[in-house]
Amino acid sequence: MRVFDAPRELVFRAWTTPDLLARWWGPEGFTNTFHECDIRPDGEWRYTMHGPDGKDYPNYSVFADIVPQERVALDHKSGHEFRLTGIFEERGGRTKVTFRQKFKHAHEFEAARPYCEPGNQQNLDRLGKLLEELTPQA
């Protein structure tokens, strides 16, 4: 969970605009190449994450649920299977983002846990940096 000093509309846009999503998605040092990014229920998202170590990580997900300015949920189908949900709540001009990741199999969660938890925190850090760039200063 993280609270960002940005309006909910902007946070939702950062999650649902492919060019913006590509700028922050993934842990620190990763970049992305999006091959397909159809952000709508049942839309497919195929992309390759490029690690700082030079390795490529192909990913395939299907968007499960999109509620404008409230929620984005996707099912990650490649590698470890999980449902990732971003929930956006208005907090007086700021936005609380709840980032949930539920694995299909407990043993896959345990295998991914050592890199998943810090990676998700880095993911939210990168989102915060993008939101700072996009939010007009008073």
Mean pLDDT by 10 residues, the chain (138 residues): 97 98 96 97 98 97 98 96 97 96 93 91 97 82
Instruction: Confirm if 118 and 107 have CB atoms less than 8 A apart.
Output: no
Nearest to 130 by CA among 101, 100, 97, 102: 97
pLDDT of 136: 75
Burial of 47 (0-12, 13-18, 19+ CB in 10 A): buried
pLDDT of 135: 87
Nearest to 73 by CA among 39, 116, 109, 122: 39
pLDDT of 17: 97
- pTM, two decimal places: 0.93
